Amino acid sequence: MAYQFDFNSTYGILRCRFEGDVTDESLKECYKASGEYVAFTNPNVAIMDFSNASSLNVSSQTVRDLANRAPSMSGSQPRFLVAPSPSLYGMARMFQQYGSETRPQMYVVRSMDEAYAILGVEEPHFEPVTKRAAIRKRQTPMLPSPAAASPCNLPGARSSKRRAFFRRGGSATPVSRP
């Protein structure tokens, strides 16, 4: 498998980590699987991490097709694409642009540290997602209400840097909208 899902129950962060070669097929497969993991974990935040991807063999048509699909998570919940290399960053920005209507809380960053800084969390501990553990965790809501699911309200998160970030417009990479 070219990707693996894990979960941080403290902050409700679902992370998908790609390793090796990223292809059209592996990206489509991951996107399909992400809906199941979202249903299992009920996350507050999602991160797709391409830091360990060795190559990118994904067509622009696949990126457009995936961006035009219904999101796995609610559009109001923050999600991050971690894309350290120029080619991955370009692909992530394309996805962000095409999906901006249904994913207004999409951020493209260059490192996991940058995503954590925006969220105001420090190196969270992740565990592999298992059906039983995820269902157990999902039965206990992480946050008291859907309005509390913004990065500014993550439990235990530092707030000053995060609030300043969102006052500046809330995007690590600005999205131009028509």
In a domain, 118, yes or no: yes
In a domain, 72, yes or no: yes
How many residues in total does the chain contain? 178
In a domain, 178, yes or no: no
In a domain, 176, yes or no: no
In a domain, 15, yes or no: yes
| Residue pLDDT, tens place only, 30-87 | 999 999 999 989 999 999 999 999 999 999 999 999 999 999 888 789 999 999 999 9
In a domain, 175, yes or no: no
Contact (CB, 8 A) for 91 and 81? no
Residue 121: other Cβ atoms inside 10 A: 21
Domain count, the chain: 1
In a domain, 172, yes or no: no
Give the range among 20-29, 36-45, 111-120, 135-144 with minimum mean pLDDT.
135-144
73 residue type, one letter: M
**pLDDT of residue 175 exceeding 70:** no
DSSP E strands in the chain: the ranges are 3-8, 13-23, 45-57, 79-82, 106-109, 127-128
In a domain, 138, yes or no: yes
CATH code, domain with 89: 3.30.750.24
Structure tokens at 118: 């925006």
Nearest to residue 108, comparing CAs of 120, 123, 91? Answer: 91
| Residue 63, domain extent | 3-167
DSSP E strands in 84-171: the ranges are 106-109, 127-128
